[in-house]
Amino acid sequence: MNRLTKIKSIGTAVPKYKHQQNEILHFMSRIYAFNEKERRVLRYLYHQSGITSRYSVLNDYSHKPNEWTFYPPTENLEPFPSLEQRMKKFNQEAAALSVRAIRNCLQKPSDLAKITHLITVTCTGLSAPGLDLQLIELLDMPRNIFRTSVNFMGCYAAIHALKLADSICKADTAARVLIVCTELCTLHFQQEPTTDNITSSLLFGDGSAAVLVTGDEDRSTGFPLQGFYGEVMPKGKQDMSWELSSTGFTMTLSGYVPALIEEDFEKLVNRALTKHGISRDNITHWSVHPGGKKILEAIEKSLSLPKEKLDASYRILSDYGNMSSPTILFVLKEILCTLDKRKKQTVFGAAFGPGLTMETFLVGTGS
């Protein structure tokens, strides 16, 4: 019997602070100190975002200034938190959130002892020793576990991690690979009211997702990974970026990104399907990273998809915002829970990030 690399389970977790989008809008309006016309524009952008709520490790975004725990309660947030302060907060919070996602992923605590490989994914906090070693210590994982990290790849990084897990499982049929994607995007709020900063402030949230990938022969459990395909669009290289600054990580997210995706996504999908030898008719579900409402609308236009085909993506966007790398796993988890394993069903997944990079995957059920 041929072995198939499979997603066995996905677990998710979010921080304890849930902020309504209108509460975050109030915070941003206060900090940006806009005039009335500018505040109307900001309200419009927030109300059109497709986001209802987001989660953060910081309570500040929906609390009164005298209750803030991270930003100084001054009119302009000065002294503004430094990169060092943000990384300290990441190191305090990311591991515990990751542990919750892992426990949500694994069926029982004893499953931890069977993990052979650990892949940690993040683009919002970097240190050495880092998240991987924190998790090994917190979860008492084997000290000789194979570990690697995917860093600074942005929203498509979970798919890159799945590619690595697939290669590992094909090389070692006994492998049980645990991927953990954890992002604390809200640590990197920037006070200067540039277009990029405003866009980031209305989109991003915090979250974690863990996925267990194996290469065993048991076809009764899990969802087979059927292949990957990705491309880089150099013409969009300057339109999406993520860089370090003295006050945290800064995002460039050009308004041209949805147009670039709309123009090229159908061609990318066609090349991916040709590689895998299947047609659009074989795709029963679409798991698309909700980078923003306009990006989802661009996908619909590019593929001539009815909006309901992206319902899972819209729901995750509404409930959590864009959490960067874990987001596609939140969407995929929701879709996999609806699949009928007695039927042949195929999910086409896609996510986007700096480069401009577009990564895709296929996962499904049935023989």
From residue 219, alpha-carbon distances to 226, 302, 311, 366 in Å are 14, 35, 28, 9
Amino acid letter at 278? Answer: I
83-105 and 131-138 are packed helices; what angle lies between their axes, rounded to 10 degrees?
50
Phi, psi (deg, nearest 5) at residue 6: -135, 145
Alpha carbons within 13 angstroms on the beta-carbon side of residue 210 total 27
State both tokens at 88: 């300290």
State both tokens at 71: 């930003």
Report the C-alpha gap between 365 and 344 in whole angstroms.
5
- pLDDT at residue number 2: 57
Report the C-alpha gap between 298 and 303 in whole angstroms.
9
Q: Which residue has the tokens 């998790």?
A: 135
Report the C-alpha gap between 22 and 39 in whole angstroms.
13
- pLDDT at residue number 341: 80
Reply yes or no: is the peptide bond before residue 79 cis, omega within 30 of 0. Answer: yes
* Closest to 324 measured CA to CA, from 114, 184, 230: 184
Residue 155 falls in the annotated catalytic set: yes
The catalytically annotated residue of 155, 169, 181, 185 is 155
Q: Where are the domains of the chain?
A: 223-364
Structural domain 223-364, CATH architecture: 3-Layer(aba) Sandwich (3.40)
- pLDDT at residue number 76: 81
Report the C-alpha gap between 127 and 125 in whole angstroms.
7
Q: Which residue has the tokens 């990318």?
A: 268
Phi, psi (deg, nearest 5) at residue 35: -80, 175
- Cβ atoms of 281 and 238 closer than 8 Å: no
What is the pLDDT tens value at each position of the chain, 367 positions in all?
456 899 999 999 999 999 999 999 999 988 887 889 989 999 999 999 999 999 999 999 999 999 999 999 987 889 999 999 999 999 999 999 999 999 999 988 888 999 999 999 999 999 999 999 999 999 999 899 999 999 999 999 999 999 999 999 999 989 999 999 999 999 999 999 988 889 999 999 999 999 999 997 776 688 999 999 999 987 777 777 778 888 888 877 777 788 889 999 999 999 999 999 999 999 999 999 999 999 999 999 999 999 999 999 999 999 999 999 999 999 999 999 999 888 899 999 999 988 889 999 999 886 5
Phi, psi (deg, nearest 5) at residue 349: -110, 150
Instruction: Fill in the DSSP letter of residue 220.
Output: T
Report the C-alpha gap between 16 and 59 in whole angstroms.
9
Alpha carbons within 13 angstroms on the beta-carbon side of residue 42 total 27
Task: Count other C-beta atoms under 10 Å from residue 192's C-beta.
Answer: 11
- Cβ atoms of 269 and 230 closer than 8 Å: no
- Cβ atoms of 256 and 280 closer than 8 Å: no
- pLDDT at residue number 3: 67
Amino acid letter at 141? Answer: M
